Amino acid sequence: MPWEEGDLHGRHVAAASSASASIEWDLVWPCSERVRVRDYTCDCQPVFYELCQAGGQRYIRRTTRKGGRVVVEESVRTAASKTDILWTMLLHGDAR
């Protein structure tokens, strides 16, 4: 990941490897639920990701900007440890 201290950019997701696992994404609409964002990737990209915590569960939110529209999707909510593994895979290009 080309990230250096002092860089104005956040983290960028690595290009997907050919063997990457596929994450199931569900379309969501913004709601008033209290969500804590624990980590995120750089939003200079048309697609960026956030690692979210809501209650005792964790999931990944994917935001896609396309022609002035914003699409927000979420992965399945599951135990923190499972989502953390998925998050690491995503950053390394091993899951999409």
C-beta of 9 vs 65, nearer to Zn ion: 9
State in angstroms the smallest separation of the CB of 86 from Zn ion. Answer: 21
* CB atoms closer than 10 angstroms to residue 12: 15
Residue (21 or 44) nearer to Zn ion, CB: 44
- Output the smallest distance, CB 81 to Zn ion, in A: 28
Least Å from the CB of residue 84 to Zn ion: 22
